[in-house]
């Protein structure tokens, strides 16, 4: 009886069950597929990021970072020198505003990161297939592959790689940072580039071992390149980069064993990394010596450079407490469930778990590599209590999950190949997994990451400027005010007459150099109180422990701080109006004296989004504000509950509208008060004080 020819589906399933043949180097076909897949992911990601790009400055650090990049200055610790230099080049492109140019650089870095992740997954899977091939004892079976088998094996590797790349492209965190000015997309790119170079080095060594005549050290260029990129990456966000070292060490150990760590190769790699690190951070004293507008920390001496690089000012945010870490872990889990789609549909997490389980059985190196990335990242991030960009500190963990999901897609393809159903082929399994995960991530995260209409920070600044009189002084503690105003005043040259003072930054001596640059007349008028405070402030910066041990020193610096601000307010109010933002009145342990002194000394007159400090108690009328709130209240941008727009910007609007309503009601301006209360409730129907004020004013209007 003649044997019936196998169908294409049967041949594909049989080919997928076979591992790639061992060989010395990638085939031209697989190399082309690797480049094409990475290129396709890059293009898709860049198109999506460009379409959803923020059109101007955004909240948090965006304004400060743009100013640092545009003027080749020094950003907040650790300074991010490599990012500053690359973003400066982006700012020179003569297309769009400076903010758009640097926002777009984030998109390019993020798209390249997704393409590189595609390459990492491909390298891991190719390496795993070599190990599988080496276990096959039948040489004839290894050599009997045909074109269909080769194509199927390439499909088995690169379909999961593309799926992982697209998954990362549409993830909540990377996509969010790809549309604004931030350092984290470049950081992700460099971390993934290090991963790619390390796993490519491992793959080359494994290939070379098939040929006993070749020396594995001939491929050390890859590991040295990884060391160089690692040093450069330390010049962006060194904390999250350093956390990947244990995972990288495991790959090196399982490739070359202890002999690598006992050889000169480790020394050479370390020297290359250190050289790259020194080259990048030598930018800081050079930039500081130029006295740019943004010169955070003014790091010129070795001690100041060390303080800046190590983020000395942020150490107060580390808190080792089991209870606090438990809360942080719960928050991480919440972020992880929403990172790649809907929290109620964790397809990606399921595939990631399946991928890790498969790696544990078949490719133990990949398993430990991915697991250690997550564990090291969590060990650090769970002890670091920050709020506004905490998700960025989890990027290494999210990268690991995306890679693991790629391994999970391969597991699903192999599962389909083991079935005999013609309806569940490997191609259908791969397409289903890629489409479902990518579409879920895209549809879940699009509403939160589409920033085409994100004018929130720009409108916030303009709404503040519209109220402040010419040459007026505005005191604030809100970085969401101060940061975008740096961009508006220094780069766009809007309302340079307005004197903006960030009260929190007055606790950093370098900030007084900026104020002298921005408002020399104000600084001169209050120099009698500013100079003594700066002197004791520098003493505190040199030895903060001495102040924590001495009640007298603590009292002296606190009183000097209060007297300085009192002098600034009194001297400026004689010249032009003085304003404060609502957050200045929120009492805390550092500013308790200030929050009591201001309302005791001045009448707080709500005007727009600020209080005007009036020296008398008479009624101060002002036109009803016409606030622009594009992206905040028009439904064009959607926010998560923990988004800074929900936590800080929206409450700032509702509080000031409510304060205005209460002020007008206290002076029997009930119709206008009702209008203000209604505006507050339109933004947030849950504002109890606004609702109560509305009811009281409406009741008084009804009385004959």
DSSP track, 328-367: HHHHHHHHHHHHTS-TT--HHHHHHHHHHHHHHHH-HHHH
Is the per-residue pLDDT at 11 higher than 80? no
With a cut of 70, say whether residue 373 has pLDDT above it. yes
Please provide the DSSP assignment of 266-315 as one string.
Answer: HHHHHHHHHHHHHHHHTHHHHHHHT--S-BTT---SHHHHHHHHTTGGGG
Over residues 291-299, mean pLDDT: 93
Query: What is the rounded CA–CA span in Å between residue 283 and residue 579?
Result: 38
Q: How are beta strands 603-607 and 578-581 bridged, if at all? A: unpaired
Average pLDDT over residues 639-666: 90
Find the helix packing angle between 395-418 and 364-381, rounded to 10°: 150
pLDDT band with cut points at 50, 70 and 90 for residue 133: low
Residue 639: its pLDDT value, please? 85
pLDDT at 14 over 80: no
Q: Is the pLDDT of residue 191 over 80?
A: yes
Spatial separation of the C-alpha atoms in residues 595 and 562, rounded to whole Å: 10
604 SS3 class: strand
| Higher-scoring residue by pLDDT: 414, 45 | 45
Q: What's the pLDDT score for residue 50?
A: 97
Residue 99's nearest CA partner among 181, 184, 186 is 181
pLDDT value at 28 more than 80:
no
The residue-averaged pLDDT of 257-286 equals 94
Residue 458: exposure state from Cβ atoms within 10 A (0-12, 13-18, ≥19):
buried
400 and 373 in contact (C-beta within 8 Å)?
A: yes
Which pLDDT belongs to residue 151? Answer: 53
**Mean pLDDT of the region 492-498:** 93
The DSSP string of 130-172 is: HHHHHT---HHHHTT--HHHHHHHHHHHHHHHHHHHHHHHT-H
How far apart are the C-alpha atoms of 136 and 147, rounded to whole Å? 20
- The helix/strand/coil state of 384 is strand
Given a cut of 60, whether residue 147 has pLDDT beyond it is: no
Would the pLDDT of 312 be above 90?
A: no
Residue 363 has pLDDT above 60, yes or no: yes
Cβ count near 546 (within 10 Å): 12
- Mean pLDDT confidence for 421-427: 71
Contact yes or no for 571/524 (Cβ under 8 A): no
Q: Which of 88-97, 203-212, 519-528, 617-626 has the lowest mean pLDDT?
A: 203-212
Q: Is residue 549 classed exposed, middle or buried when 0-12, 13-18 and 19+ CB atoms within 10 A define those classes?
A: exposed
Cβ atoms 188, 399 nearer than 8 A: yes
Res 109 pLDDT > 70: yes
Highest mean pLDDT among 53-57, 201-205, 297-301: 53-57
Q: Is the dihedral of CA 586, 592, 596, 601 positive or negative?
A: negative
Q: Which of the four pLDDT bands, split at 50, 70 and 90, describes residue 288?
A: very high
As a whole number, mean pLDDT of residues 563-578 equals: 94
Which element (helix H / strand E) includes 605?
A: strand 603-607
Return the SS3 of 383.
Answer: coil
Q: What is the pTM of this model?
A: 0.91
Residues 6+ apart with CB under 8 A from 4: none
pLDDT tens track for 657-670 = 999 999 998 888 88
DSSP assignment letter at 183: S
Tell me: the pLDDT tens digits for 167-186?
A: 999 999 999 999 999 999 99
- How far CA 330 is from CA of 164, 327, 336, 398, in Å, comes to 25, 5, 10, 15
Tell whether the model's pLDDT for residue 126 goes beyond 60.
yes
Can you state the angle between helices 147-169 and 8-17, rounded to 10 degrees? 70
Q: Is the pLDDT of residue 376 over 60?
A: yes
Residue 113 and residue 41 in contact, taking contact as beta carbons nearer than 8 Å: no
User: What is the pLDDT, as a whole number, of residue 348?
Assistant: 93
d(CA 441, CA 163): 11
DSSP string, 25-78: S--HHHHHHHHHHHHHHHHHHHHHHHHT--SS--TTTHHHHHHHHHTT-B-STT
User: What is the pLDDT confidence band of residue 681, given thresholds at 50, 70 and 90?
Assistant: very high
For every residue of 514-544, DSSP letters joined together read HHHHH-HHHHHHTHHHHHHHHHHHHHHHH-H
Euclidean distance between CA atoms 288 and 295, whole angstroms: 6
CA within 13 Å, CB half, 56:
18
- Do the Cβ atoms of 174 and 113 come closer than 8 Å? yes
In percent, how much of the chain has pLDDT > 70? 88
Question: pLDDT band at 421, cuts 50/70/90?
Answer: low
What per-residue confidence (pLDDT) applies to 2?
Answer: 45
Token digits for 376?
Answer: 């090291």
pLDDT at 140: 44
Least confident interval from 96-100, 317-321, 522-526 = 317-321
The pLDDT, as a whole number, for residue 20 is 46
> What's the gap between Cα 501 and its chain centre?
26
Cα–Cα distance list, 576 to 264, 477, 490, 579 (Å): 68, 21, 21, 10
Could you count the other beta carbons within 10 Å of the beta carbon of residue 543? 11
Segment 226-230 mean pLDDT: 97
Give the model's pLDDT for residue 22. Answer: 44
Q: For residue 623, give both structure tokens.
A: 């036109």
Q: Does residue 134 register a pLDDT over 60?
A: no
Q: CB under 8 Å to 149, separation ≥6 — which residues?
A: 11, 14, 15, 18
- The predicted pLDDT at position 572 comes to 94
What's the whole-number mean pLDDT along residues 214-227?
83
Tell me the two tokens of residue 407.
């391994």
User: Which residue would you say has higher pLDDT here, 22 or 158?
Assistant: 158
Start-to-end C-alpha separation, the chain? 107
Q: Which residue has the higher pLDDT, 13 or 435?
A: 435
In the predicted structure, residue 213 carries a pLDDT above the cut 80 = no
In the predicted structure, residue 158 carries a pLDDT above the cut 50: yes
Comparison of pLDDT for 163 and 700, the residue scoring more: 163
| pLDDT for res 326 | 82
Mean pLDDT over each residue of the chain, to the nearest integer:
87
What Cα–Cα distance (Å) separates residue 340 from each residue in 114, 335, 515, 694? 14, 9, 44, 43
Q: Which of 197-211, 379-393, 478-492, 552-566 has the lowest mean pLDDT?
A: 379-393
Share of the chain above pLDDT 90, in %: 61
Q: Work out the average pLDDT over 59-63.
A: 93
């Amino acid at each position: 009886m003649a044997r019936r020819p196998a169908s294409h589906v049967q041949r594909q399933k049989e080919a997928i069950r076979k591992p790639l043949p061992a060989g010395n180097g990638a085939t031209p076909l697989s190399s082309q597929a690797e480049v094409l897949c990475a290129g396709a992911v890059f293009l898709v990601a860049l198109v999506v990021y460009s379409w959803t790009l923020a059109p101007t400055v955004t909240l948090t650090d965006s304004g400060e970072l743009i100013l640092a990049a545009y003027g080749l200055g020094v950003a907040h610790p650790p300074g991010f020198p490599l990012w500053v230099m690359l973003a400066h080049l982006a700012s020179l492109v003569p297309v769009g505003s400076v903010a758009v140019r640097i926002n777009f650089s984030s998109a390019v870095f993020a798209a390249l990161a997704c393409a590189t992740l595609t390459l990492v997954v491909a390298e891991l899977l190719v390496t795993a297939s070599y190990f599988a091939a080496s276990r096959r004892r039948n040489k004839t079976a290894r050599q009997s592959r045909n074109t269909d088998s080769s194509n199927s094996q390439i499909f088995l590797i690169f379909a999961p790689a593309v799926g992982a790349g697209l998954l990362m492209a549409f993830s909540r965190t990377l996509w969010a940072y790809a549309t604004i000015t931030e350092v984290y997309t470049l950081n992700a790119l460099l971390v993934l580039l290090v991963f790619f170079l390390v796993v490519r080095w491992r793959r080359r060594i494994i290939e070379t071992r098939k040929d006993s005549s070749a020396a594995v050290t001939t491929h050390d260029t890859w590991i040295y390149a990884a060391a160089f990129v690692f040093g450069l990456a330390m010049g962006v966000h060194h904390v999250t980069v350093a956390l990947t070292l244990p995972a990288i060490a495991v790959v090196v150990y399982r490739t070359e064993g202890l002999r690598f760590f006992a050889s000169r190769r480790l020394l050479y790699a370390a020297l290359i990394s250190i050289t790259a690190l020194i080259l990048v951070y030598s930018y800081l004293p050079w930039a500081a010596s130029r006295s740019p507008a943004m010169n955070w920390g003014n790091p010129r001496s070795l001690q100041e450079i060390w303080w800046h690089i190590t983020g000395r000012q942020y150490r107060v945010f580390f808190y080792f407490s089991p209870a606090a870490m438990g809360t942080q872990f719960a928050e991480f889990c919440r972020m992880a469930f929403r990172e790649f789609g809907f929290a109620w549909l964790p397809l990606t997490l399921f595939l990631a778990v399946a991928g890790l389980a498969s790696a544990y059985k078949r490719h133990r190196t990949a398993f430990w590599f991915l697991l250690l990335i997550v564990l090291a990242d969590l060990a650090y991030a769970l002890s670091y209590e920050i709020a506004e960009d905490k998700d960025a500190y989890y990027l290494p963990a999210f990268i690991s999950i995306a890679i693991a999901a790629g391994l999970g897609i391969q597991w699903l393809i192999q599962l389909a190949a083991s079935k005999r159903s013609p309806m569940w082929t490997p191609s259908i399994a791969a397409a289903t997994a890629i489409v479902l995960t990518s579409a879920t991530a895209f549809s879940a995260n699009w509403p939160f990451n589409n920033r085409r209409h994100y004018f929130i920070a720009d409108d916030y600044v303009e709404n503040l400027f519209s109220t402040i009189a010419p040459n007026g002084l505005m005191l604030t503690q809100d970085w969401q005010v101060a940061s975008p105003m740096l961009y508006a005043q220094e780069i766009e040259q809007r309302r340079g007459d307005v004197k903006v003072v960030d009260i929190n930054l007055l606790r950093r001596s370098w900030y007084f150099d900026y104020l002298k640059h921005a408002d020399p007349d104000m600084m001169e008028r209050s120099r009698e109180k500013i100079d003594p405070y700066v002197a004791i402030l520098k003493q505190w910066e040199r030895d903060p422990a001495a102040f924590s041990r001495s009640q007298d020193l603590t009292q002296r610096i606190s009183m000097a701080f209060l007297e300085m601000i009192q002098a600034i307010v009194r001297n400026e109010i004689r010249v032009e109006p003085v304003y404060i933002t609502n957050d200045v009145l929120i009492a805390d342990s550092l500013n308790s004296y200030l929050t009591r002194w201001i309302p005791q000394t001045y009448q707080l007159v709500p005007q727009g989004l600020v209080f005007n400090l009036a020296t008398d108690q008479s009624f101060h009328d002002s036109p009803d504000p016409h606030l622009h709130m594009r992206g905040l209240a028009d439904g064009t941008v959607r926010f998560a509950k923990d988004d800074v727009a929900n936590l800080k910007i929206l409450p700032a609007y509702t509080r000031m509208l409510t304060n205005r309503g209460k002020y007008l009601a206290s002076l029997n301006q009930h119709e206008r008060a009702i209008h203000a209360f209604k505006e507050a409730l339109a933004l947030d129907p849950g504002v109890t004080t606004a609702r109560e004020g509305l009811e009281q004013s409406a009741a008084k209007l009804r009385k004959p």
